[in-house]
Amino acid sequence: MASDTAVEKHEDNITQAEHVREGRSYKANVDIIEKDSELLLVADMPGTEAPDVDIHYENGQLSIHAKVDQRQDESDTRYLLHEYGVGDFYRSFHIGEGIDASRIEANMKNGVLTLHLPKAQEVMPRRITVKTD
């Protein structure tokens, strides 16, 4: 579809966010779907709440950071089995300039972030009517 909205994932050379909290950080699993009028990003971030999610889009760069608090007081917990890790989520993508940043919307439900990235009118396909003289 529109090349100005192409998503580039540069895992090897992404500048990592500075960690200001101790603990683990994770890369959220993400699906990005291109529709006619928008890109739809769906990210799994278990344990997150909407107020703890920080999303920035600037100069074609989309970054997502979600803070996750510990579920248990580690000093007062005796685990019989401990497999679930808790930590913040970070992801960053180069989306391109074909997004209308003023209309971006985000929803969070059950630890799943849904981000609507509307395409700018300039990159939307349009039909041109041929007139007769």
Q: Which domains does the chain have, with CATH numbers?
A: 23-71+83-123 (2.60.40.790)
Confidence of residue 128 (pLDDT cuts 50, 70, 90): confident
CA distances from 33 to 1, 6, 127 (A): 12, 11, 23
In this prediction, residues 59-79 reach a mean pLDDT of 85
Position 31 scores a pLDDT of 96
User: Higher confidence at residue 20 or residue 40?
Assistant: 40
In this prediction, residues 51-77 reach a mean pLDDT of 88
Backbone angles phi, psi at 111, to 5 degrees: 80, 10
Beta bridge partners of 56: 63
Confidence of residue 25 (pLDDT cuts 50, 70, 90): confident
CA distance 47 to 45: 6
Position 60 scores a pLDDT of 87
Query: Longest Cα pair distance anywhere in the chain, in angstroms?
Result: 84
In this prediction, residues 56-62 reach a mean pLDDT of 90
Cα angle 26-30-31, degrees, rounded to a multiple of 5: 170
Q: Model pTM?
A: 0.72
In this prediction, residues 96-100 reach a mean pLDDT of 85
Position 22 scores a pLDDT of 62
CA distance 66 to 121: 30
CB atoms within 10 A of CB 70: 11
Position 83 scores a pLDDT of 77
